[in-house]
Amino acid sequence: MKSIKDNTEKLQKVLANLGHGSRRELEALIQEGKVSVNGQLAKLGDRIDVQTQPKIRINGHLISTRLKEQDICRVLLYYKPEGEICSRNDPQGRATVFSNLPKLKNARWINIGRLDINTSGLLLFTTDGELANRLMHPRNEIEREYAVRIFGQITDEQIRQLQKGVQLEDGPASFKYIQAQGGQNANQWFNVVITEGRNREVRRMWEAVGVKVSRLMRVRYGNIYLPKGLPRGAYTELNINDVNYLRDLVGLNSEEKSFLTPEQRKNKYKRLRAKRPSQR
């Protein structure tokens, strides 16, 4: 008997691919009863076939389910300062990373992972939901490098422990790489590499061996580095080579066009200063 092809996908995946947020954010919206399909409240686990053109509403607003193949995949590199959160809105009125990003028409910036409020450094955003989802998935083991400042002395045994692995409440974790970078007095700097990006993973690993982190900054994601000269709270748009490097990492087809103009591609320094940090 010939099998019938299943064209359905999980609702949160479809919405993420359409640029309406991360899967985590969309799962929360579904659980809160803010998403409906064909007039019925959606629930986690629902699957849809976009080819049937279902009527999907988020917060009562009808959305388009047509994928715009002509859209160009864009990726921003943002220098997140301490004190900003990685949510679009905050009931407490705290500053969010989205407030400094350029405005889009018929698209949304999707953050590729998160940094907690007290962590600064490199944060990537894209208009491509599938790219964001794949880059965040633990199975791809993409390296994230951090500069970490700790207070006090650390022993060789503690270093070995962090390399071998420590037990966290959500499972074992270890640094793929750890290297001392010097310091002054009781403040010591290290560079560390992880490949999962769990919530507060770097801080919790140091805490597991009795060490307190006093400063944390992400400096690299894959082979994308935080550029020198980029001010805190500012962004730069990645060129097509860097975008395709990220797409190739997770098995997506290369882009053939870039959103950047030829002049912007030539003058990287101007692109770095395309958006100045807001004054607070």
**Domain locations in the chain as residue ranges:** 9-62, 75-138+229-272, 143-221
Cβ–Cβ < 8 Å for 126, 73: yes
Q: What is the Cα 60 distance to its own chain's centre?
A: 27
Tokens of 180: 């001392």
Max CA separation in the chain (angstroms): 75
Question: What is the reported pLDDT for 129?
Answer: 86
In which residue ranges of the chain is pLDDT below 70?
A: 1-6, 19, 66-70, 261-280
Give the pLDDT confidence score for residue 209 in this predicted structure: 94
pLDDT value at residue 22: 76
CB 226 within 8 A of CB 79: yes
Is the pTM for the entire model greater than 0.85? no
Neighbouring C-alpha atoms within 13 Å toward the C-beta of 240? 14
**CB pairs under 8 A, 24+ apart, for 241-249?**
242/75, 243/73, 243/74, 243/75, 246/75, 246/124, 246/131, 246/135, 246/222, 247/73, 247/131, 249/135, 249/140, 249/142, 249/222
Residue 96 near residue 84, CB atoms below 8 Å: yes
What CATH topology corresponds to 143-221? Answer: Pseudouridine synthase (3.30.2350)
Residues 6+ apart with CB under 8 A from 133: 13, 16, 17, 22, 23
Task: List the structure tokens of 269.
Answer: 């320094």
Q: Do domains 9-62 and 75-138+229-272 have the same CATH topology?
A: no
What confidence score (pLDDT) does residue 198 get? 87
Tell me the C-alpha distance between 235 and 125, whole Å: 10
| Alpha carbon distance 181, 191 (integer Å) | 7
How far is the C-alpha of 179 from the C-alpha of 16, rounded, in Å?
37
Q: Are 154 and 214 in contact (CB under 8 A)?
A: no
Residues recognised as catalytic:
116
Residue 266: predicted pLDDT: 54
State which fold the 75-138+229-272 domain adopts. Pseudouridine synthase (3.30.2350)
Can you name the CATH fold of 9-62?
Answer: 3.10.290
